[in-house]
Chains A and B, each alone.
Chain A
Amino acid sequence: MRHELLLVLIAVILLVVEIILPVGRKQRIILPAILLFAAVTVIGFIPGPTGSLFGGMYATSPLTELMKNILNVGALIVLIQSVDWLKKPENSEKVSEFFILIISTLIGMQYMISSGHFMMFYLGLELASLPIAALAAYERFKEKSAEAGVKFLFISALSSGILLYGLSMIYGTLGTLYFEEVGAAITGTPLQVLAFIFFFAGMAFKISLVPFHLWTADVYEGAPVNVSSYLSVISKGAAVFIFTILLYTVFAKMALLWRDVIYIIAIITMTLGNLFAMRQQNLKRFLAFSSISQAGFILLGIIGQSQLGMTTMIYFVMIYIFSNLAAFGVVSIISNRTGKENISDYDGLYRTNPNLSLTMMLALFSLAGIPPVAGFFGKFFLFTAAASQGLFILVLIAVLNTIISLYYYLLVVKAMFLNKSDQPIPYFKSDGYSRLGLVICLAGIAIIGFASPLYEMIRQLSIGIY
């Protein structure tokens, strides 16, 4: 409960301070807010009591605590990366809104992960989605941003509806919504299968799995870069976490069914995500499709269906957070300074801004899964998890997909390092916050792969769930 309460506390403090602060000085809230959030993130790592509350509606375990900590760290990086953008004059009056909205989505995600009852789960899910619509429309003077907000709102309403329909069927067949009771009583009758399909579709919208991915690219493109990055890592990460937990506990008895579903969806998601990513010119759309295909890879870990699967999934999500945030960080810095977001604008970037280019390159190679950066370990272990179930064909298809993904990641590397441009993006010095954000990400990318104790720790914690 500690995580959520602390976050609520910050949100309230920020709200009060927002009221007190005079107009024109709202930006002063940035540093204290980040420091507060950093403090909360650190406190989250102190092991605390675990157990269940409200008659089993809410439960924590070391594993869920770990997931929350991962999300906190990711959100902290996003906040640090957003400072440069928040300091723009047009955003000066809305700074604390940004923080409050982000923090409330985070509260929603953490409730969702800790839920022990579908009602609670749904509550968290909605709290995690709705503020994002507001965030996506944050730059409301831009048409695309407003469009992204509306699109996201409709899509999340639609997906929640589908999900709720599935849940209602579960309630109809079993008369309970407690995870433990559902998990014990579920047998896989036709109606429950239908319920599962609806539930799956609803979650697939949130994780943006093909064929429920159509909103992703538009929303990412329209929303401010930092919101897109939040959406692509934290939001997706939280949804994947709870999705895996539910599959492994509540729907454990229907494993034979969901294994096949995930098998097929994983292949389609990876392949289509990759094929679309190849054609993108706008980097935000590009990263959107790349994140779709990454979601497909995550399914490989889930299909591992064991402690190994859980461990590799969390480990990969962690690496993915750092890699994707590094990539989005660079895009955000350059977009803030120059307004340029196309791959061709990056021509010759290395000659003018070597550090940014190197960061971007390492992030992309990490996403592609090339050593020595962490992505290699993440991907390899995901493949191990899938192979442990004997699904070598799936692994082969996934690995072939990494080649396609390497191709389009290399296109960006090529633009930065190989191409020459008459008008490259000129040299500029990025501000301290952005650099701090990138340094944290780079440290993560460089270290996590080699840090086997981290992997072993996650593994220890995932015992409880499976």
Chain B
Amino acid sequence: MNILLLFIIIPILTIVGILLSKEQKQTRVISAVGMGLQLVTAGVLIFLFLAERAAGNTAEMLFTSNWIWYESLNIHFSLGVDGISVAMIGLTSIVIFAGIFASWELDDLPKEFFTSLILLVSGVFGFFISTDLFTMFLFYELAVIPMYLLIGIWGSGPREYSAMKLTLMLMGGSALIIPGLLGLYFNSNPAGGPFTFELLEVAKANIPIEAQRLFFPMLFVGFGVLGALFPFHTWSPDGHASAPTAVSMLHAGVLMKLGGYGCFRVAVFLLPAAAHEMAWIFLILTTISVIYGAFGALWQKDLKYINAYSSVSHCGMVLFAILMFNQTAMNGAVMQMISHGLMTALFFALIGMIYGRTHTRYINEMGGLMKVLPFLAVAYVIAGLASLGLPGFSGFVAEMTIFVGAFQHPDTFHRILTIIACASIVVTAVYILRVIGILLLGKIKKPEYELLTDAKWHERLSTGVLIVAITAIGLAPLWLSEMINNGLGPIIQKLMMAGPIN
């Protein structure tokens, strides 16, 4: 059996287990075991993948399987992974594993909560392992139902508003993706013969430039909405702020990456000529994302909003790097997806834990938490330092790669944008350090905070897993970057055929 199938089967079995469970304790143990298995499977997958590559298998996709689904429409259920998707699968497994432990003590409708959460994550896994555009989109859309319920039922603040806004805006993205995908489909075989949704088959077709011009913006913006592309990012601050901890982690950590991955795998890869032509428009937008997100974070007082805006900025950087069409920058983009996914998940986990104790997320109302919550505080500092790009953590590797790659572009326009985007690093440092200063250092603002207790075992486990991953990538980035480069090869080749590459 194909190992990739496990990424769909394990979540389904876990959900069945959850539905059969009787009480909260059983539910969470089953979820943890299921997602633990998932994490192990992801580890095995990475190992097998690297072994296969080391053995000299240079096929574009590994572990491929193909089943015909709708024969007359030529829709297949086909699986396959390359270096990039393997990396993303690893990220997802880590984040969901940490997320389960971060919501360990949730007691309002736990069964429903974990079912929705795992349904959500199975959509994400499905998205990364499929190579048929129809199946891919099916899994992509699978997130809609659980996402609405998760934010709406278990969220905080204006949860109903945020849930509705997020769902509708993301559906708006899908609304652009559907005609885009159909456009690809009906142009996938200009020479006659059956049309196809198969990613690699579509990549072989020479789609006429007029069609590319029409469908590239649809697909790029469509996926870009999920990747928080300015000006379609407005769902992100509200949505992330209102969502319960595990959902914020998963959403900012993984789902936003679905957007970046889609832009990259579908829009840029399949429609390279139009991508070359129109990149400048989106480069400007992403630069705005990067800067605007950073300044937005500077303004906010609510911890979750700060982090949500910072996500807009960091995810903007992913799209920015993709549009530079250059191997180094693109490699950086994928690295950034993974690094930001881990970092932001850590942030949201910590914010959830701090909020659970202080019952406020406003930084002005807190202070001196380092003295009472040393473990959480140190973890927060680590997350902060990783986020502002301190060497030794994953953030540094990713951002460094992006900017080195981007600056290699000989064009002045691109260089100016790179310099502007670079400036966001400084702003990031400001808002991160400001939060750390106010929140963790100084005097304890309220007497009742003296009585707070530090992290419990499940919270330590949740944050620990993420910190280990962040530092591991920061200290030994090469194997990851190799793996990603491997997957980038065909994409770069296809881009090169369509235009100059730097």
Which residues of A come within 8 Å of B, CB atoms?
Answer: 311, 361, 365, 370-372, 376, 380-381, 383-384, 387-388, 390, 392, 395-396, 399-400, 402-403, 406-407, 410, 413-414, 417-418, 452, 455-456, 459
CB atoms of B142 and A407 under 8 A apart: no
Q: In residues 72-88 of chain B, which contact A (Cβ within 8 Å)?
A: 72-73, 75
CB atoms of B153 and A410 under 8 A apart: no
CB atoms of B183 and A406 under 8 A apart: no
Which residues of B come within 8 Å of A, CB atoms?
Answer: 69-73, 75, 134, 138-139, 141-142, 144-145, 148-149, 152-153, 159-160, 163-164, 167-168, 171-172, 174-176, 178-179, 182-183, 185-186, 214, 218
28 sampled A-B residue pairs with Cβ under 8 A: A371-B141, A371-B142, A372-B138, A383-B178, A384-B185, A387-B179, A387-B182, A387-B183, A387-B185, A387-B186, A392-B183, A392-B214, A395-B178, A395-B182, A396-B218, A399-B178, A400-B172, A406-B171, A407-B168, A410-B148, A410-B167, A413-B148, A417-B153, A418-B152, A418-B160, A418-B163, A456-B70, A456-B72
Describe A's contact surface by its main secondary structure.
helix
Q: A376, A407, A417, A452: which contacts B141 (Cβ < 8 A)?
A: A376
Q: Which residue of B lies closest to A311 (CB)?
A: B72
CB atoms of A396 and B175 under 8 A apart: yes
Q: Taking the nearest CB of chain A, how far is it from the CB of B271, in angstroms?
A: 14
Q: Taking the nearest CB of chain B, how far is it from the CB of A103, in angstroms?
A: 35
State A390–B210 Cα separation when bound (angstroms).
13
| Across-interface contacts of A395 in B (CB, < 8 A) | 178-179, 182
CB atoms of B69 and A452 under 8 A apart: yes
CB atoms of A384 and B182 under 8 A apart: yes
State A370–B75 Cα separation when bound (angstroms).
18
CB atoms of A388 and B138 under 8 A apart: no
Q: Which residue of A lies closest to B159 (CB)?
A: A418
Q: B145, B163, B218: which contacts A365 (Cβ < 8 A)?
A: B145
| Across-interface contacts of B176 in A (CB, < 8 A) | 396, 399
| Across-interface contacts of A399 in B (CB, < 8 A) | 174-176, 178-179
| Across-interface contacts of B183 in A (CB, < 8 A) | 387, 392
Q: Which residue of A lies closest to B134 (CB)?
A: A380
Q: B138, B172, B186, B218: which contacts A376 (Cβ < 8 A)?
A: B138
Q: B175, B179, B186: which contacts A388 (Cβ < 8 A)?
A: B186
CB atoms of B141 and A414 under 8 A apart: no
| Across-interface contacts of B160 in A (CB, < 8 A) | 414, 418
Q: Which residue of A lies closest to B218 (CB)?
A: A396
Q: Taking the nearest CB of chain A, how far is it from the CB of B320, in angstroms?
A: 27
| Across-interface contacts of A417 in B (CB, < 8 A) | 149, 152-153
Known contacts A395-B178, A418-B153; A403/B172 CB under 8 A: yes
CB atoms of A372 and B142 under 8 A apart: yes
CB atoms of B152 and A414 under 8 A apart: yes
State A410–B149 Cα separation when bound (angstroms).
10
Q: A311, A361, A380, A390: which contacts B178 (Cβ < 8 A)?
A: A380
Q: Taking the nearest CB of chain B, how far is it from the CB of A445, in angstroms?
A: 13
State A388–B74 Cα separation when bound (angstroms).
14
CB atoms of A406 and B167 under 8 A apart: yes
Q: Taking the nearest CB of chain A, how far is it from the CB of B218, in angstroms?
A: 8
CB atoms of A370 and B141 under 8 A apart: yes
Q: What are the nearest 5 A-B pairs in CB distance?
A: A387-B182, A399-B175, A418-B152, A452-B70, A395-B179
State A388–B160 Cα separation when bound (angstroms).
38
| Across-interface contacts of B134 in A (CB, < 8 A) | 380
Q: Taking the nearest CB of chain A, how far is it from the CB of B135, in angstroms?
A: 10
| Across-interface contacts of A459 in B (CB, < 8 A) | 72
Known contacts A371-B138, A417-B152; A384/B168 CB under 8 A: no
Q: Which residue of B lies closest to A450 (CB)?
A: B69
State A396–B181 Cα separation when bound (angstroms).
11
Q: B144, B164, B168: which contacts A370 (Cβ < 8 A)?
A: B144
CB atoms of B175 and A455 under 8 A apart: no
